[in-house]
Amino acid sequence: MLGNGSKVLIPDRGFDGVVIYTGRLKGSFLEGNILIAESGSPIGELISISIKHNLSGLESLVGIPGSIGGAVIMNAGTRYGSIGDIVETVEFINSEGTYIVKSSPYFEYRGSEFRGERVVLTRVTLRLKGASSDEIREKLSLAVLLRKNQPKYPRQFGSTFKNPPSMSAGRLIEEAGLKGFTYRNVQVSPVHANFILNFGNSADDIYYVINTIQDRVYRLFDIKLEPEVNLIGF
């Protein structure tokens, strides 16, 4: 399954299988405070719709690239809130081909009950809240501020690793001496060590850097960093 592809890494040799891309499964509508969106709908478009109708709930996701389906799989968000906080129902097809409407699905830090499962998310229902435009604007500016210290160029996938409980993955990578580490055209960001910058065109090189980080952090601190990025087919 591929949404916007913002959080996947696929080997240079390619992927031996069928890829379902949800880019054309777009569209959304409002029923009062409830926003119903097809799974390929871009997060940014849904945020714009909610702002236009003075509805609050999605502001913390501003600047996160991707589709709403990918966001639900990953429980995308920031310290101000994650998509799981406002999901009412998720509609999906399971591996037996059964269409299921699931109310109040389970979410955890950068994950959901759907992550790693063989499912096709088709539609998501979000419960938003009426709010004044000032309130919404304030929440948006806080969320935008968070992005100030994050590298924007070149291509990357946001945070590479999940933060271990009450620790910062970026700090551990930095303490392991890997901030700025460069392998071929791939660099651990000198600004924020949990970001990997791709100046080239090789997923295998990025994978090498991911492994190097995991090995070094494990050797030094006995901590296994878990990738936040979805490594498909490695």
**Catalytic sites, residue numbers:** 110, 159, 228
The β-bridge relationship of strands 186-188 and 8-9 is: unpaired
What is the nearest approach in angstroms of ligand FAD to the Cβ of residue 233? 11
Binding residues (CB under 6 A) for ligand FAD: these are: 1-8, 22, 39, 64-67, 69-71, 73-74, 76-78, 119-121, 156-158, 230
Taking CA atoms, 33 is separated from 7, 30, 108, 194, in Å, by: 29, 7, 24, 36
Give the three-class secondary structure for 174: helix
Instruction: Report the alpha-carbon angle 225-230-234, nearest 5.
Output: 90
Q: What's at 90, amino acid-wise? A: V
Return d(Cα 23, Cα 46) in angstroms, integer: 14
Query: What is the nearest approach in angstroms of ligand FAD to the Cβ of residue 48?
Result: 17
CB burial readout 129-153, b (16+ within 10 A) else e: eebeeeebeebbeebeeeeeeebee
* Smallest gap from residue 177 Cβ to ligand FAD (A): 25
Helix, strand, coil share of the chain (percent; to 5): 30, 25, 45
